[in-house]
Structure 1
Amino acid sequence: MPSPLAPRYWGAHLLAVVLVAAAVGLGVWQYDAWQAHRDAEADDLTHARPVPLTDVIGPDDPFPGTKVGQPVTVSGTWVPGGTVYVSGRVQDGAKGYWVVTPLTVDDADGSALPIVRGWVADPAQAPAAPSGPTSLDAWLQPPEGTGEVDRDPTDDVLPQLRIADLIQHVDQDLYGAYGVATEPEPGLERASVDQLPDVGTFTGIRNLLYAIEWWFFGLFAAFIWWRWVTDTAAERPVVEDAAGSPPRDP
């Protein structure tokens, strides 16, 4: 029997190489598609074009998880006496406070959106709270929930920007979100935005399973080829011996 490396078997070897290469390539393609799905869900929207707040979230709506950092345009009136300071905000290595004032949104049935007007090192250095109507652009963010307790609910300093804590400082309903002003007011520094939406565990999972399936098929094809080569090589000496030597008498 000819050797497994004989020219007559080159076609079989080439077929095995093509099958394995195709399976690996298709698996990589599906893996890239899975990764692209996850990257798209965790997309940084902070540089997108601002859209009206009403196109993203309503006064009673839960926060849309895919819209973290979405720039929105908000028009309304500042809530008098509703300014609070959120502690523990690091800016260029220095600890300070977010200055937050709710804005009653036009055509929102009196509901207000908390607006981070900027960052300041000390609340005593913050400029006076604004008043009257305004229109601004802000990065939309979900409410915080670190679990840290506000140890003094009577003051205007909060440990986190949690709607349940902030609502104690105003007399109207609040959105289930807050905005970070893209342009800080005079006397304040721009607050940083570094949140991205969490990527779901099963985002694009079908593509990942397809990738694993293709790679498994490639391994199976390689295994079949290897078994054929080893079986052919093992049978060859036996056949030659039978063909080249006369049978012996017992």
Structure 2
Amino acid sequence: MLVKPGWLGTHLLAVLALAVCLVAGYWQFVRAQEPSREVVDNPVERLSQAQPLDEALEPGAYMSERKGNRAVRATGVYAPGEQRLAPALSPEGEKGYYVVAPLVTGQDTAIAVSRGWLPQDTADSAQNVAPPPEGEVTVTGWLLPPDKAEDGYVPMDVPEGHVARIAPSLLVNQWPYRLYEGYVVLGEQRPQDPALGGSAAELRQIPPPDPPKGTVWDWRNVSYAAQWVVFGSAVVVFWGSLVRRALRENGSAEGGGSEGDDGGRAPSADGGGDGDQVSVART
């Protein structure tokens, strides 16, 4: 009975539904192990692979996290007197500042460039930090999305010449330029920046950190994967209940047919059947 055409369609439908549940559950499980979309998870590109900034990002256009750590190259002129300090932690956890300046790449268009990092006790204001070089420069570095409020550390106040974080949404209020959505972490510059060096009073180059290599679990996707497993189990239980009920009904039908055949047998030739009925009546 279970191999008839109608049942073969039911079996195929159950297999397909189970396969969909397993594939969807596995896909959600894999997604649960991926970093959040709000985290830059691309490897830091080599500066030798740098591409022109305009090919990687357009001024004012939205920048996704997937474009982070991309090596880019931009040519322009640093705007004088527009340098800002943004609070930031060093890789060792020491408090300090990123020195940010606008590199004017076109008419009323600029990209924020993080020139380097200074310890907190060596920079009182942006005016005390060595200015960027004059004239046309070519900057090669890594493109990063705007810093979020939770990045680095939150300062108690933001004095003049400072900015809370490197974000064009904040810098646009201080610079008279149309800004790119992201900013560039300086890697190389021609001509070289004289402020870069190894002493405490000079800027320290800090490239972007590598993306996290550990597994970052997204428990929402884990719950989705568990739901698909439950759906797959329900498919198996439902299919099993259909098969068991069909077998039970089929067995009952066969049993009822056999009893009907026995009760319909013709009486024996010697009339024993009639004699029995008469005896029962008399009794």
Confirm whether residue 230 of structure 1 aligns to residue 245 of structure 2: yes
For residue 137 of structure 2, what is the aligned residue in structure 1? 134
Partner Cα distance (2:249, 2:110) in 1: 81
Partner Cα distance (1:166, 1:123) in 2: 24
Name the SS of the counterpart of 1:130 in structure 2. Answer: coil
TM-score after normalising by structure 1: 0.63
Identity %: 19
Q: Is the 8 A contact 2:158 2:164 kept in 1?
A: no
Name the SS of the counterpart of 1:157 in structure 2. Answer: coil
CA 1:183 to 1:122, structure 2 compared with 1: closer, same or farther past 3 Å? farther
Partner of residue 111 from structure 2, selected from 110, 113, 120: 113
Write the letter of the residue equivalent to 1:239.
Answer: E
Q: Is the 8 A contact 1:104 1:110 kept in 2?
A: yes
Partner Cα distance (1:243, 1:79) in 2: 101
Q: Is the 8 A contact 2:85 2:98 kept in 1?
A: yes
For residue 55 of structure 2, what is the aligned residue in structure 1? 55
CA 1:29 to 1:50, structure 2 compared with 1: closer, same or farther past 3 Å? farther
Alignment of 1:1-12 (within 5 A): 9=2
RMSD of aligned residue pairs (Cα, Å): 4.6
Q: Is the 8 A contact 1:180 1:193 kept in 2?
A: no
Name the SS of the counterpart of 1:175 in structure 2. Answer: strand
Partner Cα distance (1:172, 1:231) in 2: 76
Cα drift, residue 54 of structure 1: 0.7
Cα drift, residue 216 of structure 1: 6.3
Gaps of 5+ in 2: 190-195, 199-203, 213-223, 265-276, 278-283
For residue 72 of structure 1, what is the aligned residue in structure 2? 72
Write the letter of the residue equivalent to 2:251.
Answer: R
Alignment of 1:91-102 (within 5 A): 91-102=91-102
CA 1:195 to 1:45, structure 2 compared with 1: closer, same or farther past 3 Å? closer
Name the SS of the counterpart of 1:82 in structure 2. Answer: coil
Name the SS of the counterpart of 1:228 in structure 2. Answer: helix
Name the SS of the counterpart of 1:158 in structure 2. Answer: coil
Cα drift, residue 169 of structure 1: 4.8
Cα drift, residue 135 of structure 1: 1.8
For these two proteins, the number of residue pairs brought into alignment is: 222
Q: Is the 8 A contact 2:63 2:181 kept in 1?
A: no
Write the letter of the residue equivalent to 1:47.
Answer: V
TM-superposition CA deviations, 1:190-249 (whole Å, max 9, x none):
1535789xxxxxxxxxxx9xxx7xx96995576245313223225525633652585599
CA 1:72 to 1:16, structure 2 compared with 1: closer, same or farther past 3 Å? same
Write the letter of the residue equivalent to 1:157.
Answer: H
Name the SS of the counterpart of 1:243 in structure 2. Answer: helix
Partner of residue 181 from structure 2, selected from 157, 176, 183: 176
Higher relative contact order (CA 8 A, sep 6+): 1
Name the SS of the counterpart of 2:258 in structure 1. Answer: helix
Write the letter of the residue equivalent to 2:242.
Answer: R
Name the SS of the counterpart of 1:181 in structure 2. Answer: strand
For residue 197 of structure 2, what is the aligned residue in structure 1? 186
TM-score after normalising by structure 2: 0.57
Q: Is the 8 A contact 1:116 1:180 kept in 2?
A: yes
Q: Is the 8 A contact 1:46 1:71 kept in 2?
A: no
